[in-house]
Amino acid sequence: MLSRQTSQRIAFIVISLSALIVVAPILFIVGYIVVQGVGAISWEFLTGFPYNGMKSGGVWPAIVGTLWLTLGTAVVAVPVGVGAAIYLSEYAGDNQLTRAIRIAIINLAGIPSVVYGLFGLGLFVIFLNFGTSILAGSLTLGIMTLPVIISTAEEALRAVPQSFRLVSVSLGGTRWETIRRVVLPQALPGIITGIILGLERAAGETAPILFTVAAFFLPRLPHSIFDQTMALPYHLFVISTQVPGMPVRIQYGTALVLMFFVLSMNVLATLIRRHYRRQRVW
Amino acid sequence: MDIKIRIEDFSLHYSDGKESLRHITLDIYANQINVLFGPSGGGKSSLLRALNRLNDLTDVAVQEGRILLDGEDIAAPGYDVIRLRRRVGIVFARPVPLPMSIYRNVTYGLELAGIKDRAQWDAAVERSLKQAALWEEVSDRLDESGYALSGGQQQRLCLARALALQPEVVLLDEPTSGLDPISTSKIERTLQELKSEYTFVAVPHSVQQAARIADWATFFLQGELIEHGDGKTIFTTPQNSQTNEYITGRFG
Ligand SMILES: Nc1ncnc2c1ncn2[C@@H]1O[C@H](COP(=O)(O)OP(=O)(O)O)[C@@H](O)[C@H]1O
Ligand SMILES: [Mg+2]
């Protein structure tokens, strides 16, 4: 038999090791990309167009494209997602229909992103005739992002104590007034966090934009939502696999820009959550 | 004695099939403290919630009978419940300030009622906080969160919030159950002072409190009205043996 102290020490070491195993690859990946890519970062790289068969120049059109697509995704997914969450949490009872909706949401979240890409191609690009465009890409990414936004927003709404709703209604509030004045403001931090996390995932996806919006190379920025655009994840894919003789520095520089974009959204979400957790009274 | 609310043959089932109120017929008197008491599970809260239709939010399956507020059947389907809830306010057992300032807690109901005039708000805040015996403690910090207050103050804030709408009836569901004796007596005194302006329907958290505050008292047992009468009679010489057992503490 091990003494209690020895077994305690062994447990501590094992647990610490598993934590390390989780953290180490993340640190390694981030560190590796930074080390390999930081040399490529320059003003010209961030604000210039690629040239010389993309072996020189910068990633500006891809940055702009990813910003457009992120915004477009938000425009599509936020109203629908938050609306659906409000419906599920505040209006719908627990019945067959809502259970079916919840199962659908869970399954939507499990669909591989390339399938969303094909779906977007079929529905938006071809059937609705939007062509390969920011519109088609945003709709595709938006639909892909819906499950994340719906489930986090619903969770945030449900976390608001039922007693607040009862009080508001007892003071002559309608259901909607109660939602707008009490429930939504309290759930907002959680909802925003969910939105940012959903958008973050959308911003980094390649497969859904592959057939719906992304351009291999464009010598100009998009002018409207009916234009194609370059985008960071697809650009990274292109310069890593489609262009022979690409300098490794530029590949990792591009990865670094994409990672920075996505991580800063993540940090923003964390900060918002922390800020409001501290202010919360319940 | 003027009758403010007349409850006629009122029954209520929750959707799990349980009959929580059985054929209740009861008069609530105007400008009096009307007390409902009895062991928990007796249906007191269910009846209170029926008086301002908060049961609409719970899973009540069937509701029968009539509840006449100044002669109007408020239990009727299609009755304007928003207007009703402005006339019949409620204070719950646990104080629940809304997550906003003390001031906005009091004006919340007024805002919903479409009153936007700042001067009217100021007046209502001062009046109702004074009525709830809280004004002196909070008048210089109305912008602080309602949660900055102690439990007893929070509950008086909740009372003030209900009073701000100048309701005709105020329902109180064990309003002092979590409070210290000083806060409790403040609230009890407040009710005595205000009953000339309001009709109170109160569920006290103890027999002692029931006996202290009741002008009229009704004993409920497992969904049935056992005995109803003026407070003094009920708590000194009850007619029913079950009532007697309950108030003398011999009740199982
Ligand atoms: N929302 C509800 N859903 C189902 N049953 C309920 C609900 N509220 C109360 N009940 C039941 O109704 C009965 C009366 O409860 P209640 O009105 O809370 O009594 P009291 O306030 O006298 O304790 C109890 O048996 C309780 O379990
Ligand atoms: Mg109760």
Q: Tell me which residue in B99, B112, B146 faces A172 most closely, judged by beta carbons.
A: B112
Structure token pair of residue B98? 């809304």
Are B98 and A174 in contact (CB < 8 Å)? no
Task: Work out the average pLDDT over A72-94.
Answer: 94
Q: What are the pLDDT digits (tens) for A106-117? A: 898 899 999 999
Is the residue at A76 inside a domain? yes
What does the alpha-carbon distance between residue A136 and residue A225 come to, in Å, rounded to a whole number? 9
Q: Which stretches of A113-183 are DSSP H helices? A: 113-120, 134-159, 162-170, 175-178
Q: What are the pLDDT digits (tens) for B190-232? A: 999 999 999 999 999 999 999 999 999 999 999 999 999 999 9
The domains located in chain B, with CATH, are 3-101+167-247 (3.40.50.300)
Burial class (CB in 10 A: 0-12, 13-18, 19+), A123: middle
Is the residue at A20 inside a domain? no
Q: Provide the 10 A C-beta neighbour count for residue A271.
A: 11
pLDDT-derived band at B251 (thresholds 50, 70, 90) equals low
Centroid of ligand 2 to alpha carbon of B108 (angstroms): 25
ipTM > 0.90 (yes/no): yes
Are B54 and A170 in contact (CB < 8 Å)? yes
Q: What are the pLDDT digits (tens) for A173-202? A: 999 999 999 999 999 999 999 999 999 999
pTM of this structure: 0.89
CA angle B81, B86, B89 (to 5 degrees): 105
pLDDT-derived band at A95 (thresholds 50, 70, 90) equals confident
B252 pLDDT higher than 80: no
Is the residue at A82 inside a domain? yes
B124 pLDDT higher than 70: yes
- Tell me how far apart the 2 most distant CA atoms of chain A are, in Å: 74
The helix/strand/coil state of A67 is helix
Identify the bridge partners of residue B14 per DSSP, sorted by sequence position: B60
Total count of domains within chain A? 1
Looking at beta carbons, which residues of chain A come within 8 Å of B145?
Answer: 281
The helix/strand/coil state of A243 is coil
Is the residue at A238 inside a domain? yes
Nearest protein CA to atom 25 of ligand 1, as residue: B41
What does the alpha-carbon distance between residue B124 and residue B92 come to, in Å, rounded to a whole number? 21
The CATH number of whichever domain residue A181 belongs to comes to: 1.10.3720.10
Asked if residue B184 lies in contact with residue B95, where contact means CB atoms within 8 angstroms, the answer is no
Q: What are the pLDDT digits (tens) for A218-273? A: 999 999 999 999 999 999 999 999 999 999 999 999 999 999 999 999 999 999 98
- Tell which one of B11, B14, B40 to mutate to probe ligand 1, the residue whose CB is within 8 A of the most ligand atoms: B14
Is the residue at A263 inside a domain? yes
Is the residue at A246 inside a domain? yes
Asked if residue B60 lies in contact with residue B108, where contact means CB atoms within 8 angstroms, the answer is no
Beta strands in chain A (DSSP E): 50-51, 56-57
**Domain hosting residue A223, numbered range:** 55-277
